[in-house]
Chains A and B, each alone.
Chain A
Amino acid sequence: MVQPQVAVAPTDPLATPIMRNSRRILLVAALIVTIVFPFVFSNPAVTSVAMFTLLFVGATSAWNMFSGYSGYIALGNAVFYGSGAYCFANITTHLNLKGGVALFALIPVAGLFAALVALPVGWLALRTRRHTFVVVTIAIFFIFQLLAYNLHSLTNGSSGMQLPIPPWSAQTYNNYFYMAALLVALIAIGLSWTLRRSSFGLELLAIRDDEDRARGLGVHTNRVKLATFVLTGFVTGMCGAIYAYYLGSIYPPFAFEAIFDVTIALMAFLGGLGTVSGPVIGALILEPLQQYLTLSFTGGGLSLIMFGVLFLLVIRFLPEGIVPSLAGQLRKRMRVSAEVKGGPPPTANGPVSKKAAGIKDGAAR
């Protein structure tokens, strides 16, 4: 039988119904595992690392929302982290609040404060482009760090501020923070995902690809950039507030930490800049690793050397990040195996997993 020669664009073997459903099942399973995790592995040392990992998942996803989608690499997000932390500390101190579950309600308030900070910071920084933007965000970070040291009335300077300690047992202490961090991480991922699929997200991606052209096509670039920046500030601020509450006391170099920004940038790059799952994977891999390295090699420079070398290896061999590289590999393999089996290129309506390709070959032809 002569097949009509219709030009069919090769479709994405990963976008078929079977692949989509299996992805959904995987996500639900992952969610259940994450929720149950601290009750199964209840060792506080483990849950502590897990909580930090979730905080970084949230912060990295937030960073990626702005920098990954818009292409403006911001290295000053620690400003929001620290602002959220100090806001939380100030409220609890001035209102003389006692530790407990109710205090978690203040986390969004701290996030809002950080979002307010993001308005002037973003307005100022976004007047510049690309390279200047990076340096401006770094400069603003240092200004905030110095302000934290010097504005004694607000931050108590280098003496730091104390936060109320909740009256939970040592065994379950971390679990509350774990849940809060999980919630914030889910919010961050949810926002990131919604953004990616919305027309707003498309505008951001357009800005990344060619900002002047996007402007010419009618995208309100300034508004879009600033709005996303504020959103990033909101989420990052919430992460900072949880961090402060967990530590019990907050000092300028911890709240405004220079390495924080580069760490989340690396996590996003490792996982895949501009994807939704990339920052998550990057944080899941790097944060436990960083904690482990810090604990094993304290003192000497070995932990630094290893971290730096790891950095370099990641950038050298996975410049696009894990998620895009793996997805690309998977697509290639599936296309090749489908073609080797002799069938036409996979279409969006037929079963195309490697197992199914053999069955189809016998039945449909």
Chain B
Amino acid sequence: MSTEIAKAIVDGVLTGGVYALMAAGLTLIFGVMQIINIAQGIFVVLAAYMSYVLQTYLHIDPFVGLIFTMPLMFIIGVVIEWGFIRRLKPQNRTALSILVTFAIAIVIEGILTQFFSSDLKTLNAWYVEKSVHVMGFYLPYIYLLGFALAVVMLGALYVFLYRTRGGQSIRASVQNRAGAELIGININRVSAITFGLGAAVTAAGGMVFGATNSFNPNSGYDLISRLLVIIVLGGLGSIGGALIASIVALVIEDVTAVVWSPVWASTMFFAVLVVVLLVRPNGLFGRPEARAQ
């Protein structure tokens, strides 16, 4: 039993890392733009389909394919921000952003269904089936590689945010949007780049997701519900919070599946959020919401 629990914890950490990557993009978008990007779930699915197409028709390895999918998702993100999000008027911005991003998600889902139908697909590569034997259990290579990818990407994100001027602008916008504008930061450009970044990291997350799960256009709903729970659990706008929250939530879910029953594991995932909010209404690392200016 204890080895199973240990394995569950390891699984939770590994998948948590990948979710953390996608959640980081989502929480960053919220931090800078004060909007909740419901389309993040379908971005992941879209990225998974992109990797699938590259692999099936061009025989490009999914990891290598990231060279194409990440910039492509970045551009898609920037275009969506410029085309739809920027045009939202300030009043009712939160609610409207939810509806707009949900509409975009529906459109993307519809397009994917038209082109790919509802059949389940999955990515294949040598590392998806094979496992490495470590300390008594078998870890599929893809989990390890995916986790490594997530760590590298998060590290790159950290370097960008904390060691470059561009990243500084983004952090300034998160702290105080109006103040950032006053000191000359181009909020429009920062918003576009942030949204693009948020979409680009889903390219990596989507690839790993596609390799570890079978997916179809409908998979976006479950994904976005989990990502939303993670960013609220961690505290809206906090990347470190998203990181910790994903690992904690996924570990709890996997351990519940082993200790109690797989049936209740998903419910526990959401229940964790409810329990935490009882004690900390702003999530683990969130800041209390300021009075509307």
Contact = CB atoms under 8 A, between A and B. Distances in A.
B273 A139 contact: yes
B25 to A, nearest CB: 16
B185 to A, nearest CB: 22
B270 A131 contact: no
B95 A269 contact: yes
Interface in A141-190: 142-143, 146-147, 150
A136 interface: yes
Interface stretch (A226-234, A243-251, A311-319, A350-358): A311-319
Contact of B36 (A134, A142, A262, A312): A134
Interface in B225-277: 225, 228-229, 231-232, 236, 263-264, 266-267, 270-271, 273-274, 277
Interface residues of A, number: 43
B128 interface: no
B270 A142 contact: yes
B221 interface: yes
B72 interface: no
Contacts of B282: 128, 132
Contacts of B34: 131
B110 A304 contact: yes
A132 B106 CA distance: 23
B287 to A, nearest CB: 11
Contacts of B286: 132
Interface string B270-293: 110110011001110010010110
Contacts of B146: none
A103 B12 CA distance: 49
Q: What secondary structure prevails in chain B residues at the interface with A?
A: helix
B100 interface: yes
B100 A139 contact: no
Given A75-B98, A301-B114, A302-B114, A135 B228 contact: yes
B113 A266 contact: no
Contacts, number: 138
Given A134-B36, A304-B107, A124 B266 contact: no
A258 interface: yes
Nearest to A121: B274
Interface string A1-39: 000000000000000000000000000000000000000
A136 B273 CA distance: 8
B217 interface: yes
Given A124-B278, A132-B282, A143 B270 contact: yes
Interface in A28-75: 73, 75
B20 to A, nearest CB: 17
Interface residues of B, number: 51
Contacts of A127: 277-278, 281
B82 interface: no
B100 A142 contact: no
- Pick the most buried of B99, B221, B231, B281: most chain A CB atoms within 10 A of its CB: B99
B106 A134 contact: no
B75 to A, nearest CB: 19
Contacts of A210: 291-292
A301 B270 contact: no
Interface in A73-125: 73, 75, 124
A308 B232 contact: no
Contacts of A238: none
A202 interface: no
Contacts of B229: 135, 139
Interface in A276-312: 300-309, 311-312
A308 B111 CA distance: 11
A269 B89 CA distance: 14
Interface string B145-172: 0000000000000000000000000000
Contacts of A266: 99
Interface of A: 73, 75, 124, 127-132, 134-136, 138-140, 142-143, 146-147, 150, 210, 212, 258, 262, 265-266, 269, 273, 300-309, 311-312, 315-316, 319
